[in-house]
Amino acid sequence: MRRLLAAACVLAIALGAAVAAPSSFAENETEPTAEADIGNYLLPAIAKYRKATWRWERLMGVRRTRAYRAAARTNDPARRLEILMAWKKKAAKRRGQALHPPRLGAWLCIHRYERHPRQGWRTATGNGYYGGLQMDISFQRTYGRDLLRRKGTANRWTALEQIWVAERAYRSGRGFYPWPNTARYCGLI
């Protein structure tokens, strides 16, 4: 409620400044309507939170939230503020979900046995396996194609990215079997 009140105050100040601003247009030029400019400052913020939401969804491998074009079509600042708050809430929710992957304890246990002692999640031992969960190239290509294309092999990915790629493999039906020995040490298979 406080955020909505603060946003309404900012909007009122912006409207007051737009009305009080002196006109510098010549008589033959047409002055733009105030309605066309109202709420335009909200569009970059909406785009920022929409992009953040989609980034978290891509990491988790879930369906992307559909983008509604209502923000660009409407000149109503209250509606744009409503859309901004909805995207902000969705981005926070997706971030929270991404930072707490299912089976996190299991992935950390596998990492404990798979990692190189001095390299942690950045392990690249030269044996054809990369990252803290020791994924081979075909595994990375199958479950982390986008990351492989953008960042290179798993030793260049963050720990969270590696865990979510492993989670995708788990969800596809492979379970913990790509890590047979370490999964047994951890009591997972």
Residue pLDDT, tens place only, 37-87 = 567 888 999 999 999 999 999 999 899 998 877 777 887 888 889 999 999
pTM passes above 0.75: no
CA 160 from centroid of its chain's CA atoms: 12
The token duo for 44 is: 């970059």
Question: 104-185: which CATH number, 1.10.1070.11, 3.30.565.10, 1.10.530.10, 1.10.3720.10?
Answer: 1.10.530.10
* CA atoms of 24 and 116, how far apart (whole Å): 67
CB atoms within 10 A of CB 67: 14
The token duo for 69 is: 């074009």
The token duo for 30 is: 């047409």
Residue 10 vs residues 18, 39, 150: alpha-carbon distances, Å: 12, 11, 39
Domain limits of the chain? 2-99, 104-185
DSSP class of residue 64 equals: P
Residue bearing the bigger pLDDT, 5 or 41: 41
Name the band, by pLDDT with cuts 50, 70 and 90, for residue 16: low
Tell me what the mean pLDDT of segment 122-148 comes to.
89
